[in-house]
Every structure is written in structure tokens, then in C-alpha cells.
């Protein structure tokens, strides 16, 4: 509370740039966790903005009508306020600037957020996603893959989970040796096993090969991975970086696998740009969404200039390459970039969505995120600026993954159990710090923060509200629901994600949505089904009732009908 | 002239056909007077029946003695025919060329087509001006139906019956006509029942460089204003273009002479610019090798989406003036047959729920396009693959359909029809077995005796069997004015037309089927529940009667 200078400002105007008549006047409150705007209208409509979702606060020069303040959120919503007194505006600005940049984990909202769950339920909630069960679903452990204790207490690699799945044939010495030959000890481990072909997707960081270094342990590790796929004599290494970037890393003693050293291995570069390029690209895209009354040319030029869709295509192309190798060629793939926690996570998870219909369900996508992103050490707190820190560490890596899924949904409208709202909600919570799931940068950090004891899990919350996130067109028996998705990647297949980036102006919000209409129809159908089943039971009861004396239940039933008639 | 003279080789065997998303077919190619037919003579493969009128351009290539003809159609499809034998190929190519560029309207297929269905409702009689005037009469008595253009001498591009203010006599109309380009004096386009405001359309006034005026024209449009009310003149051209028109005898209404009117200039492009835009867009869509940057820059350079935005914006403006400002509106550009009609027809879709039903939309096209004198035959003579010298071709109607699609996409529950109807209209405007889109105006259609000699498109569309394909399962009648967003991010590329032949729609079709299924299942349940409720109610009354008797 010490950061709040003015807890309440009256007569604040929430403005809408495009349709000024939609502006509203109300009272602004600052709490320790939220900015709250309550309309003066009879409806007393409330808008709650979480401090941790605030990206920046900008004050424009005071004009005769007041002091304008723009609050931009990390989920691309923008609030434009007009505060009557300049002093109040400065106070709000200072408070919000501080409150939106917590310096310690303890300040994050998740540590104070209390949805009134008792301890037992909270613990159960954290067990909602079980990665062991997920590997079991894939058929792991098997006679070729098993769990290794090598990373017990994170002694091999502090950014990996403690339990790792590796080829059975890889000896402990090979595992340790391979870890030593990889950036930050992130050795090749199993991410996804494709039962149909027994090809696997493994992931790692770049090898420390420099210009000539080699490690026989690392080479054996790759051999072991290749041999864990009995039907194939070959494996691919997918380096998701542009080749030039990978080569530049060699000067720093890092780099990529030299094909001559790794027998039967084919190296493929994909060309996903680094986090800095992506950060700048997204900023340009956001700027496009914020243009005031842009012409079509402004918009299309801005979209092209941002390069955003080109990057989305690169990520999807990486996923398609891997999925094709695994499903069609039956070849195992090792995926890496530099550290193996950004582009690698994108490529592996996009490939998994393409390969496995399970990841296209609500629960499945949660599992996938928990596995490929949370457990394998994607640096959530750095990338999504949970704490005030190095801005160069921030990058929309997960945004791009979610967008790839959205682009796929446009091509395969029946293949996904979830809808766009689910993706947007996930995006918001990755940034919001309301739940503990995405706090910290790796499993070890989350354990040290005792998140499971001190915060709540997002997954059961989303699961309970899944009706809201269900795609009405999804049907498990649809041909496009099953098997591997083979999307087109011609440039015109990629669209601007209006639901995500087109939200800077309230009045541009979407109109009627067919999916929402269909959900209403489906709900109604469900009620009708229920009514039908009661009706169909009733005549029999009535028949029976006429022969004997009426039962109480029947009286009740008739009573209700009479009331309806009145 | 006999078609046989033009057909140098009527049939060739062993021709291979390549079509988008279909297996290649080997079979016999036949040329008839109106069709290019390719059949494998097996039941399993679909035959190709292509109207010569649908062919926009052809290209031929030779590899040894194997010739290839690339046929580019007005519906934007591109097909390839591999023809063995150089002579056969050359003959076929020149025959197609000749047959697809026949100049005489009376040789067109609609004059030869005999329907295989029984015409229950003659589409030629479905939308007569007298009927729509009856509707108007039920709402207001301020208007009359004038026969001043009975013989099309006053305005060749107008129909014979026109709705004009009651207080303006035919003599004044004649004078006003002489003051407007092509004789297109202001006539009623739409009456907004909610507030009694009207939308009129005309051609530009012939003010010329010396600022001519016409009292009758002023009186005519002032007659539509209520006392003390102001109106808006929406000129679809920029002020610069309108100024230039003066040099050629055209111009715009001077404030001094029309003090009760405020003039607003918009920037809808002229037809030759639109044609260029279409050619560029289709070129961009057809090159699948484009990188993302190149695709977006080509899409931008085509200006197609900008044109859509400008037209929709102008239509919204007209609708806004009427519904929100409570003012009457006069719309015109230069000739009053292109951008003017885009604006007046789209404004009605925004304002009038009736135009969002199938019947109402057909009536709108009949009223605001066909009878209003949009020169379909000139504008749709060539499509995106035209490589000759452009004459008066322009995708004016296609842009209108694109704009309707944009609104439909933003309000998926407010239209009784679906995208298929719009695509079908696009196809038939360019090449058809029906006579509806032949000719350039009512007078020409009369001379061609289309209503006697050809079948109307509406006769076919309005058959229950056909209609089903065009019904929007999500339709919920909605009596409101619908305001589309014209923000660039709200306007999308119309994939159903422009990417139709470039990507498979299997998954999208499945989604559509699923949607239909969900809604049909719901209806089925509703019927069951309703019938059970009725039964229950009946049983209860019987119960009660029994009880009463006891």
C-alpha cells in the first residue's frame, strides 16, 4: 500500500478515440493489486486492471479538459483516461508505474490472490496436470526409453526438471558427458514420442562444438536417440536458428553439430529469428493496432513492415518440418536453438500440436504447455517481465506459439476443442501473475519459491470454466480432428490476429461471432434434450397414475405446469 | 452466322485436363457453339462443361507436338488442357478465342438455353417497379410513379417508370433531366420508414465551367426536404475530380444554388482504376511462391482492399446521414451508374432489414443495379485476366458483392443468405445461361426481348431446391440498422472468390456442415419438444374434463 499516493479519483473520463460518445465518466480506485474504474452510470459497470498486466503508463500534456493518461496492458488492451486535476494524474502515474514493476517475487499478485480454496483442494489442484501420466500416455517408459535420476536435485542442469526421459541405451557416463558438451548443461532429452512411427522429438541446447571440438559422449547420446527408433537408420538435427546466427556462435565456442562427427545425422537450419528481433517485430505490430483511423495502405504496410507474420510462418514451418519427419518419414528429430528454451520450445510444441490430436483438446494444450514450456525451463519471468528487470530479456515467445495455434484454427475450424477465447485467456495469465504456474524461470526456481504451497494453479480454474472455452464445431469423429494436421503455409494463409492485436480500441471490437451463436444453440439443444427426456418419462408416469392414486411427485409436477401456464 | 464456321476442330481425343484440386482427367474434348466440354466417358470422373463466355483469355504453349492451352476464366479459375497434335491444338485455341469473344449479344448462350426445370415463378415478373411502389405508397403519399421516361427518350439508361416527388410534374422532370449527365435526374432510391428520410440518386449536374444552374433540378431535390431541414449531397468523387469534370461539361451542385444541402466528397475510384486493381489483386493471389513481405506488399499495391474500404465508408456515411442525422441524401458521381449504385445499394443493406433476406436482396439488385442501369454487359465483358486494351470493363458489381460479404462476415446472423449466393451472382454477372445480366439497361433488355427469349436467373434461384444452397443457417431476423466496422483490420480478403481456386476448402466446408448439423439438430429437438408439450397440454385438459365429470 505504501506505493499508493491517491487511492481514489473522482470524475475520471474513460475515453474512446474512435467513438467519443462511448466515453464514460466514473471513479478511479487504486488498490494494491488493481486499478478499478467504476462508471457513474446506473449500471455501475466496473473495469478491473491488474497492476501486473500493465505494460506501461503514459501521461500526455494537460489540456483544458484534464490530464490524459494512457494505460497499456501486456494483453494489448489500452485504457485512455482523462483525469480532471493534473496533480491526481501525476499521483496515479507514479503509483501505477511503481506498482506495475514489482522488484521481488513476493510482491507478485499470485502470493496474495486467494480464491478461498482450502489447503487440500489447493494441493489437489496442483496435481491436475500430471506429466508422468502424459509420458505414460505416449507409451513412456518403454523398453527403449526410461527416466533417469541424473538430474536429481538439479545437479546436471539447473534449468531442466529433475526427472528426464532418455534412451535406455545411454549410460550415465554418456548422459553426464553429453550435458557437459551442451550449453548450460541442457542435454538432449525426450520431449515427445510418436507411437505410430516410434520416432521421437528430443530437445537440447546447442553443442559446445566451436570450430572443431567434439564429444564422444554427445555423439553417443545422439546415436542412442537414433537407435531408440528401431525402424530408422537416420535422424535429423533441427537447428531452429538462421544458419548465419548458428555459425556466429561457433566463435564463442558454441555452434551446431558437425555432420561428419555424428553418423547418420542430417542437420537442418530453419531460420527463426532471435528474441530481440521478435520483440521489435511485435512492438511494430502493436503500433499498427494503435494507429488512429489508419488507411488500408497504412495498415497493410505496417503489417508488412512489422515482419510479424513472416516470423509466425517461420515458427509454423519449423513445426511442420519436424511433424513431417516424425509422422511421414518416421525419423527422430533433435531440436535445438541456442539455449533450447525459446525457439526450441516453439518448434517442439507446434510440431506436437500438428502430430497429436490430444494437444488440440483443452486439457491437452494445458499438458503441452506444462511439459514443453513450464517443465523444460522456458524463462517465463524473464520473457514476460514479471519483475522489473532487463528489458532485453523480454520477448513474445509464447505469444507466437499461441498465435501459431490460432492460425491453425483458421485452417482447421473443427480440429480444436478450444476456441480463440481460451488462447487469449492463456495469454493473459502468462503475463498476469495471478496464478503461480508461470512464475519463475525453471522448475528449480519454482520449487525454491514454494509456489505450490503459496499460490494457486490456473489449470483447474480454466478446466472448471471450460464451457466458455469450447469450440462448438469440434467433434472427435471429424476427419480433420484425427491424425496429423498438414496446414498450408502460403503467405496468404496467415492473417492478422484481430482478436488479440485489434483490441486497442473498444469500438473496433468484434461483431456477432458465429461460434458464440452456435454455443447458444448447443446449450439450448442440451436443455431441450433434458426436457425431452423428462417429457418422455412423464406420460408413462401419468398412465400409471391414472390407474392407481396420484403420487405426491405427480401433484408437484402438475403444480409446476399450472404455474407455467399462468 | 453459323457457329460451325468458327469451330475448326469439333473434337479431339486424348486430351488431358488439369484443374485445381481435382485429379487430372484424360478424355475427349468437344467444342460446341457455347461450351467447351471434356469428358472421359467414364461415370467416375466429373465432366467439364465450360461456357465459352466464361473464358477471359487463353495462352498456348508447345513442347514438341504436345500443345498446351491455359484457359483463364472470368470466375478466376485457371485450367490447363494438354492436346496432342500441334494442328489440333492451334485449331482448338483459335476456335475458343473466336467463340469466347462473340460481339453479338443475340448469339449468347441464354438465347439458346432451354431450362431442364419447370419455371414455376417467372423471374422476369418477380420484381416489377409497380410492386415496390405499392410498398412505398403504404408508407407515404409524398411520391408518385412517373411515366415521363416511357419510351426511354428522356434518359436511355433509366427504366420507364420512375419514383419522383409528388409535387414535381413531368415537365420539370424533363428540364431537370437536361441538366444531368445522361439525363439521369434525381429519383428515389430508398425511403427510410423509421424517420421518413429518403435517399435519392442521380448523375452529376451539368454545371460546366460557367456554373449553369437549373431551377427545376433545385426544386426537385428540395421537394424531398421537410421544412427547415437540411440534406446531404454525397459526391462519390474527390473535389479535385469533380472540379475537373466541369471542363467536360459536368460538375457539382454549387452551395449558392442549393443552400439547404451540404455537399460531401468521397474518393471512390473510377471504373478503369478498379479494373487495374482487380488484375493486380488476382495476380498477387495466384502466385503461391510469394514471400510474406512480397504478398503483403502486392496486396497493398493492388489497392483492392482500399477500394472496398472506401466504398463501404461512403455507404456508411450515407446511412448515417439518414438514420443518425435524420437528413435526406442525394448520391451521385459522374454517370450515376457505378459508384453511385454501390453506395445506394450498400446503404440499404445497412439500413433496411428487408434487403438482408434473399428475396429482398434480389429485389435490391433488380432495383438498384439492373433497372437503375448499371451497364453489366460493358463492365463484365472481361474479368481479371483480360490482356487486351481495356474498354469499359470494371469490377464495380464484384466490389459491391465484396462489400456485402464484409458486412455478412461481421453480422453472420443478420442475413438470410450466405456467401454462396454472392459467389453465384459474381459468376452469373460474368457468364451465365440466364439472360438477367445481359444488356446494359432496361431499354436494351427490352429490345433484346430477354424476358421472352431467355430465362431469368431468379426463376432458377428461387426454386426451393436451389434456394436451400443459399440459405444461411445462422439467420435470425434482425430489425436493426447494422453498422459495419470499416477499420482496415476488420476488412478481410474475400477468400471465397479470390483464393477459391488456390486452396482446398475441405476443412472449411466440413465446418460449415457441422454448423448446419448443430442448427438442424436443434430445430429437430424443438419440434419434438413442442409436439410433446402439446400432447401434454391435451392430456391435461382431458384429465381435467375427466375430473370435472367425476
Question: Is-cis flag, bond preceding A141, omega within 30?
Answer: yes
Fold of the CATH domain B4-102: PH-domain like (2.30.29)
Chain-centre distance of CA A256, in angstroms? 29
* Interchain CB distance below 8 Å, B539 and A498: no
Task: Provide the shortest C-alpha distance from residue B290 to chain A (in Å).
Answer: 7
* Interchain CB distance below 8 Å, A491 and B414: no
Is A281 within 8 Å of A250 (Cβ atoms)? Answer: no
Alpha-carbon span A473 to A522, nearest angstrom = 10
Question: What pLDDT sits at residue B205?
Answer: 97
What is the DSSP-derived secondary structure letter of residue A416?
-
**Residue ranges per domain, chain B?**
4-102, 129-503, 506-549
* Interchain CB distance below 8 Å, A413 and B508: yes
Question: What pLDDT sits at residue B5?
Answer: 85
Chain A CB within 8 Å of residue B547 CB: no
Chain A CB within 8 Å of residue B521 CB: yes
What is the DSSP-derived secondary structure letter of residue A22?
G
Alpha-carbon span B285 to B302, nearest angstrom = 11
Question: What pLDDT sits at residue A1?
Answer: 58
Residues in chain B within 8 Å Cβ distance of A478 = 510, 514
Is A433 within 8 Å of B471 (Cβ atoms)? Answer: no
Phi/psi at B422 (5° precision): -65, -40
Question: What pLDDT sits at residue A220?
Answer: 97
User: Which site among A492, A506, A549 would you substitute to test the B interface, given the most B Cβ atoms closer than 10 Å to its Cβ?
Assistant: A492
Nearby residues of A538 by Cβ (< 8 Å), 6 or more positions away: A557, B536
Total number of residues shown for chain A: 566
Residues 266-295, chain A, touching B (beta carbon < 8 A): 289, 294-295
Q: Which residues partner with A59 through β-bridges? A: A69
Is A126 within 8 Å of A452 (Cβ atoms)? Answer: yes
Counting one residue from chain A and one from chain B, the pairs whose CB atoms sit within 8 A come to 158
Among A309, A513, A528, whose Cβ lies nearest the Cβ of B292? A309
The answer to whether the annotation marks A342 as part of a ligand binding site is yes
ipTM above 0.85, yes or no: yes
Question: What pLDDT sits at residue A16?
Answer: 82
Domains of chain A: residue spans and CATH: 8-101 (2.30.29.30), 119-515 (no CATH)
Q: Concatenate the DSSP letters of all residues of A77-128 into one string.
A: -EEEEEESSHHHHHHHHHHHHHHTS-SSGGGSGGGT------HHHHHHHHTS
Residues in chain B within 8 Å Cβ distance of A502 = 487, 489-490
What is the DSSP-derived secondary structure letter of residue A360?
G
Alpha-carbon span B19 to B170, nearest angstrom = 57
CA angle A512, A515, A516 (to 5 degrees): 60
Nearest to A494 by CA among B299, B384, B506: B299
Q: What share of chain B is helix, strand, coil (3-state, %, to 5)?
A: 45, 15, 40
Chain A CB within 8 Å of residue B412 CB: yes
Report the catalytic residues of A: 337
Sheet containing B231-235, strands listed edge to edge, beginning at the edge strand earlier in sequence: B187-192, B197-201, B328-332, B231-235, B261-265
Residue B85 neighbours by CB distance under 10 Å: 17
Residues 475-534, chain A, touching B (beta carbon < 8 A): 475, 478-480, 488, 490-496, 498, 501-502, 505, 507-508, 510-514, 517-518, 521-522, 524-525, 528-529, 531-532
Is A368 within 8 Å of A352 (Cβ atoms)? Answer: yes
Residues 449-478, chain A, touching B (beta carbon < 8 A): 472-473, 475, 478
Task: Provide the shortest C-alpha distance from residue B521 to chain A (in Å).
Answer: 8
pLDDT truncated to tens, each residue of chain B (550 aa)?
A: 578 888 988 999 999 999 888 889 999 999 999 999 999 877 777 789 999 999 999 999 998 888 999 999 999 999 999 999 899 999 999 999 999 988 899 999 999 999 999 988 999 999 988 888 999 999 999 999 999 999 999 999 999 999 999 999 999 999 999 999 999 999 999 999 999 999 999 999 999 999 999 999 999 999 999 878 889 999 999 999 999 999 999 999 999 999 999 999 999 999 889 999 999 999 999 998 999 999 999 999 999 999 999 999 999 999 999 999 999 999 999 999 999 999 999 999 999 999 999 999 999 999 999 999 999 999 999 999 987 777 899 999 999 999 999 999 999 999 999 999 999 999 999 999 999 999 999 999 999 999 999 999 999 999 999 999 999 999 999 899 999 999 999 999 999 999 999 988 999 999 999 999 999 999 999 999 999 889 888 988 888 888 887 7
Task: Provide the shortest C-alpha distance from residue B417 to chain A (in Å).
Answer: 14
Chain A CB within 8 Å of residue B519 CB: yes
Alpha-carbon span A71 to B28, nearest angstrom = 69
- Residues of chain A predicted below pLDDT 70: 1, 504-511, 537-566
Over the range B352-384, which residues count as b (16 or more CB within 10 Å of their CB) and which as e?
bbbbbbbbbbbbbbbbbbbbbbbbbbbbbbbbb
List C-alpha distances in Å: B78 to A432, B11, B18, B72, B283: 51, 21, 9, 5, 12
C-alpha cell at A242: 538462421
Alpha-carbon span B184 to A216, nearest angstrom = 88
What SS3 class is residue B332?
Answer: strand
User: Which site among B497, B511, B523 would you substitute to test the A interface, given the most A Cβ atoms closer than 10 Å to its Cβ?
Assistant: B511
Chain A CB within 8 Å of residue B480 CB: no
Write the pLDDT tens digit of every residue in A37-64: 999 988 899 999 999 999 999 999 999 9
* Interchain CB distance below 8 Å, B525 and A561: no
Amino acid at each position: 500500500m505504501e506505493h499508493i499516493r491517491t487511492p481514489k479519483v473522482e470524475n475520471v473520463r474513460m475515453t474512446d478515440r474512435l467513438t467519443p460518445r462511448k466515453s464514460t465518466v466514473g471513479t478511479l480506485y487504486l488498490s494494491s493489486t488493481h486499478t478499478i474504474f467504476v462508471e457513474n452510470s446506473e449500471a455501475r459497470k466496473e473495469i478491473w486492471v491488474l497492476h501486473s498486466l500493465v505494460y506501461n503508463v503514459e501521461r500526455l500534456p494537460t489540456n483544458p479538459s484534464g490530464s490524459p493518461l494512457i494505460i497499456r496492458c501486456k494483453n494489448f488492451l489500452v485504457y485512455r483516461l482523462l483525469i480532471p486535476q493534473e496533480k491526481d494524474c501525476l499521483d496515479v502515474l507514479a503509483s501505477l508505474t511503481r506498482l506495475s514493476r514489482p522488484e521481488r517475487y513476493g510482491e507478485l499478485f499470485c502470493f496474495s490472490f486467494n480464491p478461498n480454496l482450502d489447503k487440500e483442494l489447493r494441493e489437489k489442484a496442483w496435481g491436475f496436470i500430471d506429466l508422468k501420466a502424459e509420458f505414460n500416455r505416449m507409451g513412456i517408459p518403454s523398453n527403449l526409453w526410461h527416466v533417469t535420476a541424473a538430474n536429481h536435485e538439479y545437479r546436471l542442469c539447473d534449468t531442466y526438471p529433475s526427472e528426464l526421459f532418455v534412451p535406455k541405451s545411454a549410460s550415465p557416463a554418456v548422459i553426464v558427458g553429453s550435458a557437459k558438451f551442451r550449453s548450460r548443461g541442457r542435454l538432449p532429452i525426450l520431449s515427445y514420442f510418436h507411437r505410430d512411427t516410434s520416432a521421437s522429438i528430443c530437445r537440447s541446447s546447442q553443442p559446445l562444438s566451436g570450430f572443431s571440438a567434439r564429444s564422444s559422449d554427445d555423439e553417443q547420446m545422439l546415436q542412442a536417440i537414433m537407435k531408440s527408433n528401431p525402424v530408422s537408420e537416420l535422424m535429423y538435427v533441427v537447428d531452429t536458428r538462421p544458419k548465419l546466427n548458428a555459425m556466429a556462435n561457433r566463435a564463442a565456442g558454441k555452434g551446431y553439430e558437425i555432420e561428419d562427427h555424428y553418423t547418420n545425422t542430417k542437420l537442418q537450419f530453419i531460420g527463426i529469428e532471435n528474441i530481440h528481433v521478435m520483440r521489435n517485430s511485435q512492438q511494430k505490430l502493436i503500433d499498427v493496432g494503435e494507429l488512429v483511423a489508419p488507411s488500408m495502405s497504412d495498415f497493410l504496410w505496417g503489417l508488412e513492415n512489422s515482419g510479424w507474420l513472416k516470423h509466425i510462418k517461420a515458427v509454423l514451418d519449423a513445426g511442420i518440418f519436424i511433424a513431417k519427419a516424425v509422422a511421414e518419414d518416421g525419423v527422430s528429430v533433435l531440436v535445438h536453438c541456442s539455449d533450447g528454451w525459446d525457439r526450441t520450445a516453439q518448434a517442439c510444441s507446434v510440431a506436437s500440436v500438428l502430430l497429436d490430436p490430444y494437444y488440440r483438446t483443452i486439457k491437452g494444450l494445458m499438458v503441452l504447455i506444462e511439459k514443453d514450456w513450464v517443465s523444460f525451463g522456458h524463462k517465463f519471468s524473464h520473457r514476460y517481465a514479471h519483475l522489473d528487470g532487463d528489458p532485453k530479456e523480454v520477448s513474445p515467445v509464447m505469444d507466437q506459439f499461441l498465435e501459431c495455434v490460432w492460425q491453425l484454427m483458421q485452417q482447421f475450424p473443427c480440429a480444436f476443442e478450444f476456441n480463440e477465447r481460451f488462447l487469449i485467456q492463456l495469454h493473459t495469465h502468462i503475463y498476469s501473475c495471478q496464478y503461480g504456474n508461470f512464475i519463475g524461470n525453471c522448475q528449480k526456481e519454482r520449487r525454491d519459491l514454494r509456489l505450490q504451497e503459496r499460490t494457486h494453479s490456473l489449470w483447474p480454474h480454466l478446466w472448471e470454466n471450460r464451457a466458455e472455452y469450447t469450440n462448438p464445431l469440434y467433434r472427435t469423429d471429424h476427419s480433420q480432428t484425427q491424425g496429423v494436421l498438414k496446414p498450408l503455409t502460403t503467405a496468404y494463409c496467415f492473417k492478422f490476429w484481430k482478436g488479440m492485436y485489434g483490441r486497442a480500441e473498444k469500438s473496433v471490437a468484434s461483431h456477432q461471432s458465429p461460434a458464440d451463436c452456435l454455443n447458444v444453440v448447443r446449450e439450448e439443444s442440451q436443455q431441450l434434450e433434458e426436457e425431452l427426456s423428462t417429457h418422455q418419462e412423464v406420460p408413462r408416469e401419468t398412465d400409471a397414475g391414472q390407474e392407481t392414486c396420484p403420487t405426491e411427485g405427480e401433484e408437484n409436477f402438475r403444480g409446476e405446469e399450472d404455474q407455467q401456464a399462468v | 452466322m453459323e457457329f460451325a464456321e468458327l469451330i475448326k476442330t469439333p473434337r479431339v481425343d486424348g486430351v488431358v485436363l488439369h484443374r485445381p484440386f481435382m485429379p487430372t482427367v484424360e478424355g475427349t474434348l468437344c467444342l460446341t457453339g457455347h461450351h467447351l466440354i471434356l469428358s472421359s466417358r467414364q461415370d467416375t470422373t466429373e465432366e467439364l462443361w465450360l461456357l465459352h463466355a466464361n473464358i477471359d483469355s487463353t495462352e498456348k504453349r508447345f513442347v514438341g507436338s504436345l500443345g498446351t492451352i491455359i484457359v483463364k476464366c472470368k470466375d478466376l479459375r485457371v485450367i490447363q488442357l494438354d492436346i496432342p497434335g500441334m494442328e489440333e491444338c492451334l485449331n482448338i485455341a483459335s476456335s475458343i478465342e473466336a467463340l469466347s469473344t462473340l460481339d453479338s449479344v443475340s448469339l449468347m448462350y441464354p438465347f439458346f438455353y432451354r431450362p431442364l426445370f419447370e419455371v414455376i415463378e417467372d423471374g422476369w415478373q418477380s420484381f416489377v417497379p409497380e410492386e415496390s411502389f405499392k410498398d412505398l405508397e403504404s408508407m407515404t403519399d409524398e411520391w408518385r410513379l412517373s411515366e415521363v421516361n416511357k419510351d426511354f427518350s428522356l434518359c436511355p439508361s433509366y427504366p420507364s417508370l420512375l419514383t419522383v416527388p409528388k409535387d414535381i410534374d413531368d415537365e420539370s422532370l424533363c428540364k431537370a433531366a437536361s441538366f444531368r449527365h445522361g439525363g439521369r435526374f434525381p429519383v428515389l432510391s430508398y425511403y427510410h420508414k423509421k424517420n421518413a428520410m429518403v435517399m435519392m440518386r442521380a448523375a452529376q449536374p451539368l454545371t460546366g465551367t460557367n456554373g449553369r444552374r437549373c431551377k427545376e433540378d433545385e426544386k426537385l431535390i428540395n421537394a424531398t426536404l421537410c421544412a427547415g431541414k437540411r440534406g446531404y449531397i454525397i459526391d462519390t468523387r474527390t473535389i479535385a475530380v469533380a472540379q475537373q469534370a466541369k471542363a467536360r461539361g459536368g460538375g457539382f451542385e454549387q452551395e449558392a444554388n442549393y443552400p439547404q444541402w451540404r455537399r460531401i466528397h468521397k474518393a471512390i475510384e473510377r471504373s478503369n482504376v478498379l479494373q487495374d486493381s482487380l488484375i493486380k489483386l488476382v495476380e498477387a493471389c495466384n502466385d503461391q511462391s510469394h514471400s510474406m513481405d512480397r504478398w503483403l506488399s502486392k496486396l497493398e499495391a493492388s489497392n483492392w482492399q482500399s477500394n472496398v474500404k472506401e466504398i463501404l465508408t461512403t455507404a456508411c456515411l450515407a446511412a448515417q446521414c439518414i438514420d443518425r442525422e435524420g437528413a435526406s441524401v442525394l448520391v451521385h458521381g459522374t454517370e450515376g451508374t457505378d459508384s453511385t449504385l454501390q453506395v445506394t445499394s450498400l446503404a440499404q443493406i445497412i439500413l433496411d432489414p428487408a434487403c438482408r433476406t434473399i428475396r429482398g436482396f434480389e429485389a435490391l439488385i433488380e432495383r438498384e443495379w439492373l433497372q437503375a442501369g448499371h451497364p453489366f454487359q460493358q463492365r463484365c465483358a472481361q474479368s481479371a485476366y483480360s490482356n487486351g486494351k481495356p474498354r469499359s470493363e470494371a469490377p464495380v458489381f464484384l466490389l459491391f458483392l465484396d462489400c456485402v460479404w464484409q458486412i455478412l462476415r461481421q453480422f453472420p446472423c443478420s442475413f438470410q443468405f450466405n456467401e454462396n449466393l454472392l459467389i453465384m451472382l459474381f459468376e452469373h454477372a460474368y457468364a451465365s445461361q440466364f439472360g438477367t445480366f445481359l444488356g446494359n439497361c432496361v431499354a436494351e433488355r427490352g429490345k433484346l426481348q430477354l424476358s421472352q427469349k431467355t430465362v431469368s436467373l431468379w426463376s432458377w434461384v428461387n426454386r426451393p431446391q436451389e434456394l436451400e444452397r443459399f440459405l444461411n443457417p445462422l439467420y435470425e431476423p434482425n430489425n436493426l440498422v447494422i453498422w459495419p466496422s470499416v477499420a482496415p483490420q476488420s476488412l478481410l480478403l474475400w477468400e471465397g472468390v479470390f483464393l477459391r481456386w488456390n486452396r482446398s476448402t475441405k476443412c472449411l466446408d466440413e465446418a460449415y456442415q457441422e454448423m448446419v448439423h448443430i442448427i438442424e439438430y436443434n430445430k429437430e429437438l424443438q419440434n419434438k419438444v413442442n409436439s410433446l408439450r402439446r400432447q401434454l397440454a391435451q392430456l391435461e385438459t382431458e384429465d381435467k374434463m375427466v375430473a370435472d365429470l367425476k
